[in-house]
Structure 1
Amino acid sequence: MNPKLTQILGLAMRARKVTTGEELVVRAIQSKQARLVLLSTDASANTVKKITDKCQYYSIPCYQPLNRQELGHAIGKEARVTLAVTDVHFAQSIQRLLTPIS
């Protein structure tokens, strides 16, 4: 687990720049509020396909850096399968630390 990544996610969450939950993330993608999407490494195949397809269609970067427990822990919540960062500066900081899903 990357401590810098979890630190940035925690800051973004406290700044209210994170959306969690599959349906809310899909809505954020469709409304182009999402600047970056994170999926857990242990997300179901259906969820991965649904979210990555939406991200590709709307040209939003999507990454799978952490498992659901680590994602939840990073934002101070229970396990999370997916989350969207809605602030461009937080998204850029996170992107520098990650490699995209191909």
Structure 2
Amino acid sequence: MAWTSILAIFALFWVMSAFVMLPFGVKTHEELGVEKVPGQADSAPANFRPGRLVLRATGIAIVLTALYVLNYEYGWIGVDDINFFPDPPPLEDQLGDRD
């Protein structure tokens, strides 16, 4: 696999994990007992830390990318392994004798 493909897969995993991790650990001003700014939304976070989010998303993306690349190289899970539906019978068997 080319390094550019690995980089693209890492970027996809990073963005996905960053959006999934976004709501975790964030508290509102009311939950922390901090005074709000006039006009501020009630749901606005009071303790948003983008640096921590970036580190967590990077760690998760590294692990997921490594698993993806290793699965690509060694073929642990293939298309046949996740095909839960059996192959349909041939068309001739479905049509039967029409003569």
After TM superposition, the score normalised by the length of structure 1 is: 0.22
More helix by share: 2
Higher relative contact order (CA 8 A, sep 6+): 1
